[in-house]
Amino acid sequence: MASFHQRVFSGMQPTSTLHLGNYLGALTNWVAMQETHECIYCVVDMHAITMWQDPADLKRAIREVTAAYVAAGIDTKKSIIFNQSQVSGHAELAWITNCVVRLGWMNRMTQFKEKAGKDKENASLGLYAYPSLMAADILLYKATHVPVGEDQKQHLELTRDTAQKFNNDFAAQIAGLELGTGDLGFFPLPEPMTQGPAPRVMSLRDGTKKMSKSDASDNSRINLTDDAETIATKIRKAKTDPDALPSEEKGLEGRAEAENLVGIYAGLNGQTKTQVLAEFGGSQFSGFKAALVDLAVAKLSPIAGEMRRLLDDVSHIDAILGRGAERAEAIAAPIMRDVKDIVGFVRRG
């Protein structure tokens, strides 16, 4: 039975500095996947402009996210890193997915409703079409696996529906191509990959809210660019409760802040919460926080340092993106050519 080559695609928006939640929730997982899959990691600048971005800030953020990918351990020899706008196939395929996706599907997208807020009339058409562009990102490479967080699951479902409808609508043309994918169709239906054992990283000021770049308080998050002193201060100021740490995970129930700090420790140290509590059960927060400061500084400040070093040489970062875009383009071009044939466009030679 024919099958698709296993390929991972994922992306992050260059809308502001990445934080610990992006690192533990996504990047560490992306790094690990390089051992088992062919991986394409995109900086989705076209998605970013679905909301207003200051152009100078956008350029800086694209380079900063690129530096974060590299500093976190994505190896440009193994994996492809590039920014979306450099490969024109994203925009081209997005037009075709726009014509496959149904308005009824789009109207169910909960993230659009959240992002557009009350004044929907004033949201951009791009923000509405965002999930269709995301489908195009993934399908342009026939990616089979997509690591995404909970908030993107619905968009990945829409990607699968888009692939399925394209495969059905054009089944006759696809059959004529002799692709060697047998009865699987032209586009694979991409599988979501959930983020492994990594805990959800919550705000340091409120353990019931996700750590977020949009939180007004910078003390609520640890940015990947924070230096050692800033990391230490933020952890020391993190909200806790008056009790000692429990020795088993059950004891974290109803203690959102305690659970978050234990989860962060576990994530940074490649352990489970149970293992962390076996060591720190009975400790007061003062002692546990001191250990967490040491661990967080040891793991994160080299990343911040490497990011600063990379960002000092913009031409080097831009060369990484340019080389990545060429490699991405090489995969995308023949797929895009087939898509144009399938839908019935007439191509130049």
Binding positions for ligand TRP, rule: CB under 6 A = 9-11, 13, 44, 47, 134, 137-138, 146, 148, 152
Q: Extract the tokens encoding 14.
A: 């260059």
Q: How far is the CB of 74 from ligand TRP (least distance, A)?
A: 15
- Judge whether 250 counts as a catalytic residue: no
- Judge whether 59 counts as a catalytic residue: no
Cβ contact 100:165 at 8 Å: yes
Q: How far is the CB of 117 from ligand TRP (least distance, A)?
A: 17
Cβ contact 1:182 at 8 Å: yes
Closest to ligand TRP by CB, 137 vs 226, is 137
Task: State how far the Cα of 313 lies from the Cα of 334, in Å rounded to an integer.
Answer: 34
Task: State how far the Cα of 302 lies from the Cα of 300, in Å rounded to an integer.
Answer: 6
- Judge whether 213 counts as a catalytic residue: yes
Task: State how far the Cα of 68 lies from the Cα of 8, in Å rounded to an integer.
Answer: 19
Q: Extract the tokens encoding 36.
A: 């088992």
Q: Choosing from 142, 210, 273, 299, which is the catalytic residue?
A: 210
Q: Are strands 38-43 and 191-193 parallel, antiparallel or unpaired?
A: unpaired
Q: Extract the tokens encoding 342.
A: 């399938």
Closest to ligand TRP by CB, 110 vs 274, is 110
Q: How far is the CB of 13 from ligand TRP (least distance, A)?
A: 5
Q: Choosing from 115, 165, 239, 340, which is the catalytic residue?
A: 115
Q: Extract the tokens encoding 303.
A: 């990343």
CB atoms within 10 A of CB 311: 18
Q: How far is the CB of 172 from ligand TRP (least distance, A)?
A: 29
Beta bridge partners of 202: 210
Q: Choosing from 77, 118, 153, 213, which is the catalytic residue?
A: 213
Beta bridge partners of 7: 38
Closest to ligand TRP by CB, 62 vs 138, is 138
Q: How far is the CB of 138 from ligand TRP (least distance, A)?
A: 5
Closest to ligand TRP by CB, 149 vs 281, is 149
Task: State how far the Cα of 168 lies from the Cα of 161, in Å rounded to an integer.
Answer: 10
Closest to ligand TRP by CB, 166 vs 265, is 166
Q: How far is the CB of 227 from ligand TRP (least distance, A)?
A: 27
Cβ contact 16:225 at 8 Å: no
Residue nearest to ligand TRP (CB): 11
Task: State how far the Cα of 96 lies from the Cα of 335, in Å rounded to an integer.
Answer: 13
Cβ contact 66:312 at 8 Å: no
Beta-strand (E) ranges in the chain? Answer: 7-12, 38-43, 80-83, 145-147, 191-193
Closest to ligand TRP by CB, 44 vs 235, is 44
Residues annotated as catalytic are 115, 210, 213
